[in-house]
Structure 1
Amino acid sequence: MEQQETDWAYKQALMLTLSNSAYEALMVLNADFEVIAINNAAEELFERQRPIGERLVTVTNSPELEAVVLSALEYQEEIFEEQIIIDKHHYRVRAQVIQREGNRFIGLALQDVSDLVRLNRARRDMVANISHELRKPVANIRIIIDSLFHEDEKPKRKRSISSLQAIARETDSLLWVIQEMMDLSMIESGQSIVRMVELDLRPLVEDAVDRMEDQSSLKDIKITFEVPKKLRVWGDWDLIRRVIVNLLHNAIKWSPKGSKITVSTSATEEEVTVQIVDEGPGVSDDQVERIFERFYQVNSSRSGGEGTGLGLAICKHIVEAHGGKIWAVGQSQTKGGKFVFTLGRAEEETNHT
Structure 2
Amino acid sequence: MNRLKQSIVYHYMFVSAVLVMSSVYVWGTYKWIIPWSFDHMFDRAIFNELFLGGIAWITQIILFTSCAYWFYQKVSKDIEEEKNHRLKEQNQLFANIAHDLKNPMTTVVGLSRALEEDIIAEEKRKSTVHIITEKAQHMDKIINLMFQYAKMDTNSYKLHKSEIDVVRLLKEFAAQRYHEFEEKEMELDIQVPDSPVIFCLNRLEMARVINNLITNAIRHNEKGTRVQIGLTTDAGHLKVWISDSGQSIPKNMQQTIFEPFICGDESRNTKGGSGLGLAITKKIVEKHGGEIWIDEQVSGYTKAFVLTLRNST
What TM-score comes out, normalization by structure 1 length?
Answer: 0.56
Asked which structure has the greater RCO (Cα within 8 Å, sep 6+), the reply is 2
Aligned in 2, Cα 1:302/1:135: closer, same or farther, shift over 3 Å? Answer: closer
Question: Corresponding residue for 2:197?
Answer: 232
How far apart, CA to CA, are the structure 2 residues paired with 1:285 and 1:334?
20
Question: Corresponding residue for 1:117?
Answer: 84
| Residue 342 in structure 1 maps to residue 308 in structure 2 | yes
Correspondence 1:253-264 to 2 at 5 A:
254-256=220-222, 258-260=223-225, 262-264=227-229
Query: Which among 58, 61, 67 is matched to residue 20 of structure 1?
Result: 67
Question: Corresponding residue for 1:136?
Answer: 103
How far apart, CA to CA, are the structure 2 residues paired with 1:247 and 1:260?
15
Amino acid at match of 1:232: V
Aligned in 2, Cα 1:345/1:16: closer, same or farther, shift over 3 Å? Answer: closer
Aligned in 2, Cα 1:7/1:120: closer, same or farther, shift over 3 Å? Answer: same
How far apart, CA to CA, are the structure 1 residues paired with 2:129 and 2:261?
34
Q: Higher helix fraction: Structure 1 or Structure 2? A: 2
Q: Is the 8 A contact 1:194 1:321 kept in 2?
A: yes
Query: Which among 250, 259, 267 is matched to residue 232 of structure 2?
Result: 267
| Residue 188 in structure 1 maps to residue 156 in structure 2 | no
Query: Which among 263, 287, 302 is matched to residue 321 of structure 1?
Result: 287
Amino acid at match of 1:226: I
Aligned in 2, Cα 1:189/1:137: closer, same or farther, shift over 3 Å? Answer: same
Query: Which among 141, 165, 173 is matched to residue 200 of structure 1?
Result: 165
Structure 1 residues 104-128: Cα deviation after superposition (integer angstroms, max 9, x where no partner): xxxxxx6574444333222221111
How far apart, CA to CA, are the structure 1 residues paired with 2:175 and 2:191?
15
Q: Higher strand fraction: Structure 1 or Structure 2? A: 1
Give the fraction of aligned pairs with identical amino acids, expressed as a percent.
22
Shift of 1:273: 2.4
How far apart, CA to CA, are the structure 2 residues paired with 1:246 and 1:259?
20
Structure 1 residues 163-219: Cα deviation after superposition (integer angstroms, max 9, x where no partner): 4543443234223322332222222213233222232335534665688799x69x9
Correspondence 1:86-97 to 2 at 5 A:
none
SS in 1 for 2:123: coil
How far apart, CA to CA, are the structure 2 residues paired with 1:222 and 1:164?
33
Q: Is the 8 A contact 1:282 1:335 kept in 2?
A: no
How far apart, CA to CA, are the structure 2 residues paired with 1:21 and 1:341?
42
How far apart, CA to CA, are the structure 1 residues paired with 2:208 and 2:103?
24
How far apart, CA to CA, are the structure 1 residues paired with 2:252 and 2:186?
29
What TM-score comes out, normalization by structure 2 length?
Answer: 0.62
In structure 2, runs of 5+ residues without a counterpart are 1-46
Correspondence 1:167-316 to 2 at 5 A:
167-201=132-166, 204-205=169-170, 208=173, 220=184, 222=186, 224=188, 226=190, 228=192, 231-234=196-199, 235-252=201-218, 254-256=220-222, 258-260=223-225, 262-269=227-234, 270-285=236-251, 287-292=253-258, 294-295=259-260, 297=262, 300=264, 303=267, 310-316=276-282
Amino acid at match of 2:284: I
Q: Is the 8 A contact 2:292 2:308 kept in 1?
A: yes
Matched residue pairs, number?
257
Aligned in 2, Cα 1:148/1:207: closer, same or farther, shift over 3 Å? Answer: farther
Structure 1 residues 226-271: Cα deviation after superposition (integer angstroms, max 9, x where no partner): 2656533422221012212332344455334x35463511223534
